[in-house]
Structure 1
Amino acid sequence: MAHREHQNPIGKSSEWLTPPWILEKLGEFDLDPCAPAVRPWETANSHYTINDDGLTKGWFGRVWLNPPFDRFQRPKWIKKMCEHGNGIMLIPAACETYAFREYVFGKSNGILMMHKRPHFCDLTGREEKGNSGQTICLVAYGEKNFDVLKNSGLGVMLVEAS
C-alpha cells in the first residue's frame, strides 16, 4: 500500500502566505526575511524577498518567519532563526527531522502546536480550499515571543522541561 498525503505536497507555487488571522494574534514584527515579493498584506515593517536572498542578509529586531516548506531549503532558515534568537516562526511540526532536533528542541523558548491545520493564502490573498496537509507549529525564540504565543489562543504550548 502506498503512503498518501492528506493534501498534495507539490503545489503550483512555493510562496504561500500566512493567513492574517494568525498574524493578528502575534503582534508587530520588525522583519520578515522570507516575504513574497508580491503580497496583499504586510507581515512586518521591513521585508526581504526572494530577490534579496534573506538568508544572506543581516536580520534585525523581532522576526516573523514562514520559511519555504521545501525540505531542502527549510533547515537553512530554521538554523538562521535559531542563531538570530528573536522572533516567531511557522513550520511543519516535523519533530523527527535533524533541523527540529538541532535548532528547535533545546534552543527555542517554546513551541505552540496549532489547534488546526491552517489554510494558507495564495499571492492574491485568497485562502486555499485545502489545508496545509501537515500539523503546523509556531516556534518562539526569546521570552517575549514565548509569552505572545502562550497568550495567542492559537494552540497548545509545549515547553522543554529543564
Structure 2
Amino acid sequence: MGGHQSASSITDVWLTPPEIIAALGPFDLDPCSPNPRPWPTAKRHISLPDDGLTADWADEEFVWCNPPYGPHTFAWMHRLASHPAGGIGLIFARTETAGFFAEVWDKADAVLFLKGRLYFHLPDGSRAPANSGAPSVLIAYGAEAVRRLDRSGLDGRLVHLTAAGQAGLAA
C-alpha cells in the first residue's frame, strides 16, 4: 500500500500481484492489507484504520508483508524481522540505502531479487498500466520463508544471507 508508482498516480494503494501470493502462500497474516481487496493475501488481514504495525501478530502466524512504501518501510521490516514465526516481505530493491537496507542485510535469512519490474494491481484488481518504477525484492525471515522462496518458481536470483537461510534449504 504505498508509493509504487509516480506521484501523479491516481491511488496510493498498490496490491501485490496475485501470482506472487500464489507462489509463496499460504500466509496466516497480512498486517498491512488494503480494504476492500479483490483477493485474500492471508487468512487474517489487518487494514486501516487499524494499525497493523502495532497490532498483535500471534507468535505462530506466518506473515506476508507488502508494506506502505516510504519513510516507514524500515519499521515494517524491523517488525517482520523480529516476528517469531517469520514471514516474507516485498519491498523495493534499493540496496544503496544503507540505513534502510541494513535491516535486510543484517537480519534476513535470504532475499530473492525479482527479475524485471513488477506490475502491481489497482484496488479493483486490475493490473496497473505501468510497472512499479523500481526493481523489487522478496525478503525471507526464517527457515520456512527461505523454503518458500526457493520453491516458488519466481524468476529472479535467490541469495542466502545467513546460516539459517542455508539450513532452511537443507530441512
- Settle same-fold status: TM greater than 0.5: yes
Structure 2 equivalent of residue 88 of structure 1? 88
Structure 2 equivalent of residue 27 of structure 1? 25
Residues 114 and 137 of structure 1 are in contact (CA less than 8 Å); yes or no, is this contact kept in structure 2?
A: yes
CA-to-aligned-CA distance 1:44-70 (integer Å, 9 cap, x gap): 000101211101111131000000112
TM-score (norm 1): 0.89
What CA distance in whole angstroms lies between the structure 1 residues aligned with 2:83 and 2:34?
Answer: 21
What CA distance in whole angstroms lies between the structure 1 residues aligned with 2:116 and 2:33?
Answer: 23
What CA distance in whole angstroms lies between the structure 1 residues aligned with 2:23 and 2:162?
Answer: 26
Structure 2 equivalent of residue 100 of structure 1? 101
Q: Match for 2:120: what amino acid?
A: F
Structure 1 equivalent of residue 169 of structure 2? none
Residues 19 and 119 of structure 1 are in contact (CA less than 8 Å); yes or no, is this contact kept in structure 2?
A: yes
Distance 1:53 1:93, change over 3 A: same
Deviation at 1:12, TM superposition (A): 2.5
TM-score (norm 2): 0.85
Deviation at 1:161, TM superposition (A): 6.2
Deviation at 1:99, TM superposition (A): 2.2
Q: Match for 2:78: what amino acid?
A: K
What CA distance in whole angstroms lies between the structure 2 residues aligned with 1:161 and 1:68?
Answer: 26
Residues 119 and 127 of structure 2 are in contact (CA less than 8 Å); yes or no, is this contact kept in structure 1?
A: yes
Residues 113 and 157 of structure 1 are in contact (CA less than 8 Å); yes or no, is this contact kept in structure 2?
A: yes
Residues 78 and 99 of structure 1 are in contact (CA less than 8 Å); yes or no, is this contact kept in structure 2?
A: no
Deviation at 1:10, TM superposition (A): 4.8
Distance 1:126 1:107, change over 3 A: same
Distance 1:82 1:147, change over 3 A: same
What CA distance in whole angstroms lies between the structure 2 residues aligned with 1:148 and 1:50?
Answer: 28
Give the alignment partner of residue 39 of structure 2, picking from 38, 41, 51. 41
- The CA RMSD over aligned residues, in Å, is 1.5
**How many pairs were matched up?**
154
1:127 counterpart = 2:127: yes
Superposed, 1:132-147 pairs within 5 Å as: 132-147=132-147
Superposed, 1:48-87 pairs within 5 Å as: 48-60=46-58, 61-70=61-70, 72-85=71-84, 86-87=86-87
Following TM superposition, the consecutive aligned residue runs of length 4 or more in structure 1 with deviations greater than 3 angstroms are: none
Name whichever structure is richer in helix by fraction: 2
Structure 1 equivalent of residue 166 of structure 2? none
Residues 14 and 69 of structure 1 are in contact (CA less than 8 Å); yes or no, is this contact kept in structure 2?
A: no
Q: Match for 1:93: what amino acid?
A: A
